Structure 1
Amino acid sequence: MSTIDTSKPHSARMYDYFLGGKDNYPVDVAAAEQVTSLFPAVSQMARTNRAFMHRASRLLAERGVRQFLDIGTGIPTEPNLHQIVQATAPDARVVYADNDPIVLRHAEALLHSAPEGKTAYVQADVREPGRILAVARETLDFTQPIALSLVALLHLVGDEDEPVRIVRELVESLAPGSYLTLSHATGDFDPETWERVVEVYRKGGTAAQVRSREEFSGFFTGLELVDPGVVLAARWHPDLGARQGGEEIPLYVGVGHKS
């Protein structure tokens, strides 16, 4: 098992702190508090993001999707994705992937599937799409539709790591009828603040990078956007409930359909 590096902050543990969790270390707290001092609504942003994930996953389960691949899972926070989708479809299968060893330590919480379904976990980085796909194929049938989630993840992948290529490789592996669910922080409304937030992450070793609406929309190239398209998180199907945060939260979201 990989050891946990407590000498530098990790984005998953910082996110856990923003959500009020306890699975973080002083180095994570220090970095997270730096971010909070720059952007006080960051905890609300984390809750807004999770609420979007819940709404999008529930909608796709209601549309008949029975397989989910969630990359960048983070430290388990109930309800987890499999709990959301298996409440609608008990036979749903879910594969989680994350690169933080502390998430692996908590993976048991992610593996309490409904008896009719199945969950699995792989410790891997999104920059290793081939490895993730290889392990996911042990649980998921890639000849059938899969909902791929990269929620609050791509803003932790710099252009130097070619996130557009990574997304394209992942989507190309999916069968027609599959979906791509994304959320992404943006500096469109306050670029100076977000430049400083990004610098906190980069100093900690995470290649963070906020993107514009146009750049974010580019991840959906070749896919048909589910209504209402690319919008701020609070505006994406608020009718589905589990809504957190106001219109001002700078988080773009979208769900694309592969025909």
Structure 2
Amino acid sequence: MFLLLLLLLCCGTLLTCAKTSRHQGSHTPAHNHTDDIILAVILPQHNTSYPWAWPRVGPALDRAIAHVNADPTLLPRHHLRRIFANSENRDGICSESIAPLMAVDLKFEYNPWAFIGPGCDYTSSPVGLFTAHWGVPMITAGAPAVAFLLMEMYTSITNTGPTHKKLGEYALHLYRHFGWHQHALLMFSDTKMGERACYFALEGLYTEMHEENITTMDLVFEENKGPVNYSELLHKIKDDGRGEWLVFCFA
């Protein structure tokens, strides 16, 4: 229902300023009727390892659209419908090269009122730049990285999910509550072949702690490059953890 409310707010704003919010110089396709509100959905179509893949969130979105269309008082004289595009490559990976191509195709073929997704950091970045340029809202729960909040270029994004900046603020709250104020060890698993979820999660902690002048050190381990010597890592944590150290581990 939270997503539904965001959609209603988004669409309500667009209905009042439709002429100015659309891409200048673009024409409305013949099949995009004036009473249709098109939502362009860009998400991984099959790979459910992504929290916001289509099999996970698609039923909720379809139910929200059906609920809005069934109540004539919500969007009078208008009808919601969605257009879907897959952001996966051949290997099922959420692709930062495919997603923006899908966004451009959907924009110029259907001229949507809003974009739903993409559902990953790397795909949300280029699509977010396009939607900001077009003046079209982008609603996603898959852009938790700190950069989406700190960089002024991502003006079109409404993030409906948790963010790593909030995670960092929570860690600072723990530090203040228990009186810790000197050190933190940030330990994370990393791979440049995937989404680097641990890296982005750690970034929120790192950024917030440095703003509070808390000294940090980081320790990286890569599970996809052979066996990891966990015993050595534990000894490293034990040695560095003496005194006022708190260990954050992402794996």
Please, what TM-score do these two structures have when normalized by structure 2? 0.37
Q: Structure with the greater relative contact order (CA < 8 A, sep ≥ 6): 1 or 2?
A: 1
Please, what TM-score do these two structures have when normalized by structure 1? 0.36
Q: Which has the larger radius of gyration?
A: 2
